[in-house]
Amino acid sequence: MRISVLGCGRWGSFIAWYLHKIGHRVTSWGLPESPEYQRLAKEHKNDVISFDPDLAVSCNLAYAVQSAEVIIISISSQALRSFLPKVMEAGLGKQPIVLCMKGIEESTGLRLSQIVQEFAENPVAVWVGPGHVQDFAAGIPNCMVIDSKNDEVKRMLVHKFSSELIRFYFGADLIGNEVGAASKNVIGIAAGMLDGLGLVSLKGALMSRGTREISRLIGAMGGNPISAYGLCHLGDYQATLFSPHSHNRRFGELYIQGKPYDKLAEGVSTARAMVRLGEEYRVDLPICQTVNNIVTHQKDPQEALSALFLRSLKEEF
């Protein structure tokens, strides 16, 4: 298939590398001014992966959009709304759009697939689940999920994208998979904060309570609460709450230490969006609220996290 990956950051460049590796004709698109694009265009590699010579690298959005049978978008979730009009203007046809990004729009509380559908009638799918670029590039396999309202497109993508490196499952709950995938980054920040405070033993409580918290919200939004216990959320905890490669976990750890972090931690914006959703659907989200209180309202982390884990003296959840 002819596939264009829009976005050439850490995850976008891996997706282009992976899909080319399993036999597709791939174009990796990036903004001409971005350092990631400039390095890929010049050296055909970054710090983790190296592109084969016939994997196209381009900053021509019209070419990338019009030449593709499938379009994959992998950018910051909060930039999706401003990016989509450019994709439309570039000559978008009716091809499927796959979102390889995790987040909830901070200003509206909308899921990313909902934002796309405000601009285009194209079939929309999401690609979520555990895994780090560094592990995949080293040949370490994992399982992921593709979900879509369009069953035909979902099944086509799963069959075309699966390999020994990534085994894809058919998603059956678009709401749950999007919310679960986005919110695991908030739980990842909380895990990093526990690391920074030397409270690693509390990660077990964080994991059990975090999954329950998100399952309540998914159910209130019309999804299947059980999705929180699948690959989109609980199944991604090892990669997010424990891995040294996790941007969100590392952000939380460095935040506690008072050190800056120069990578994108999607969980910061998602925490604000989750608080918004909790209020809208009248669901108690204590972990998301605590993370937001710390990173947005500058509450004392030690006090806020202590209050979080002392709140349930009578009931487990």
The tens place of each residue's pLDDT in the chain, 317 residues long, gives 999 999 999 999 999 999 999 999 999 999 999 999 999 999 999 999 999 999 999 999 999 999 999 999 999 999 999 999 999 999 999 999 999 999 999 999 999 999 999 999 999 999 999 999 999 999 999 999 999 999 999 999 999 999 999 999 999 999 999 999 999 999 999 999 999 999 999 999 999 999 999 999 999 999 999 999 999 999 999 999 999 999 999 999 999 999 988 888 899 999 999 999 999 999 999 999 999 999 999 999 999 999 988 765 445 54
Under DSSP, the state recorded for 297 is: T
Query: On the CB side of 169, how many CA atoms lie within 13 Å of its CA?
Result: 17
Q: Which residue in the list 94, 184, 263, 299 is annotated as catalytic? A: 184
**Tens digit of each residue's pLDDT (9 = 90 or more) over 127-141:** 999 999 999 999 999
Q: Is 21 assigned a catalytic role? A: no
**Tens digit of each residue's pLDDT (9 = 90 or more) over 128-187:** 999 999 999 999 999 999 999 999 999 999 999 999 999 999 999 999 999 999 999 999
Which domains are seen in the chain, by residue range? 2-170 (3.40.50.720), 182-310 (1.10.1040.10)
The model's pTM: 0.95
Contact 34, 59 (CB under 8 A): no
Reference 138, options 164, 111, 115, 165; nearest CA is 165
